Amino acid sequence: VSAGSMIGERSVVQDVAQAADVVCSSRVTSLHMSREDFASFYKASARFSSYIDGLIALRERWPVLLTLLSQNPFLRSLGMDDAERLLQSGKLVMAEAGDPILKAGDQGTEVYVVIRGRIGIFSPATGEQPAQKIGVAEPGDLFGHAAVLLESPRTANISALDDAELLRIDAPAFMDIVTRNPLVQRQLLQYLATLDRPIAGNTEIMLRRHTTFVCAGARGLGSTTIAYGMAAHLKLSALTPLVVDLDGEETASRLGLS
């Protein structure tokens, strides 16, 4: 598990023994609550208990859900830490066949991944033009992200075609993970451009910058090699990296870079 993750909640809530040993793989600073304090807060806060119940349900199916994310053409580019972070930020919700999920004209406040069932995407009726089905989302598919990414109203009505199970992720949590992964962000925006969504007016989203600082405690430990290697990898991913080398231009010149 990575920073921000919770451990031990299932044992307290279900009053069962821990199912696994938990060992630190690096130096860790953690916030600790006693079993009694955690149980007391769980019982006192309906919002917290709802989140914990959802988290336990997610973790019981963790491998299956991670496999679904890996099948998505965009989300498969997330690293393991951010894929797990995305799951931990979400909540499993159910929808019966015919249930409306998202409505055209609403602002984007959540994003969904289909876990089970089929979801229909419909153009809104206008005048004499009836609503038409323009797409179907199936297990592993992402929907609802266009309005969140572009900070614009939704353009389609979305409802369940079958009894369905969905992973619902609040917009702030989704955007936090997407903006931490420039390749995923660019792929999503490029796909939206093929759908004629008005990306040009949302330059603030496209121009967000990400800074990574690489340093070592002493010279000769390879930090410069790591920094330039990261830049080369980003360039292969169709991104445009900028390396600021505090030791000057000597390394870039030696590598034939500018």
pLDDT in tens, 44-71: 888 888 888 888 888 888 888 888 888 8
Q: What is the pLDDT of residues 165-191, one digit of tens each?
A: 999 999 999 998 888 888 888 888 888
pLDDT of 7 above 60: yes
Asked if residues 169 and 175 have their Cβ atoms less than 8 Å apart, the reply is: no
Q: Which range, of 32-46, 48-62, 111-125, 192-206, averages the lowest pLDDT?
A: 192-206
Q: What is the pLDDT of residues 87-118, one digit of tens each?
A: 888 888 999 999 999 999 998 899 999 999 99
pLDDT of residue 208: 47
Residues 6+ apart with CB under 8 A from 98: 159, 160
pLDDT of residue 164: 94
Better-scored residue on pLDDT, 3 or 95: 95
CA atoms within 13 A on the CB side of 58: 25
- Taking residues 143-162, report their average pLDDT: 90
Percentage of the residues of the chain whose pLDDT score is greater than 70: 85
Rounded to whole angstroms, the Cα distance separating 219 from 229 reads 17
pLDDT of 201 above 50: no
Helix (H) or strand (E) segment spanning residue 115:
strand 110-116
- Taking residues 226-248, report their average pLDDT: 72
pLDDT of 218 above 90: no
Better-scored residue on pLDDT, 219 or 93: 93
Rounded to whole angstroms, the Cα distance separating 185 from 149 reads 9
Q: Which range, of 22-31, 102-111, 138-147, averages the lowest pLDDT?
A: 22-31
Better-scored residue on pLDDT, 9 or 161: 161
Q: Work out the pLDDT band at 257, boundaries 50, 70, 90.
A: low
pLDDT of residue 95: 94
CA 164 to chain centre: 20
Which residues sit opposite 100 in a β-bridge? 159
Decide: pTM greater than 0.95. Answer: no
CA-nearest of 191, 88, 106, 84 to 142 is 191
pLDDT of residue 51: 83
pLDDT of residue 234: 67
3-class SS of residue 166: strand
Asked if residues 190 and 160 have their Cβ atoms less than 8 Å apart, the reply is: no
Joined tokens for residue 178? 């997407």
CA distances from 151 to 105, 145, 170 (A): 12, 10, 14
pLDDT of residue 238: 54
Q: At what angle do helices 62-71 and 80-89 cross, to 10 degrees?
A: 110
What is the average pLDDT score of the chain?
81
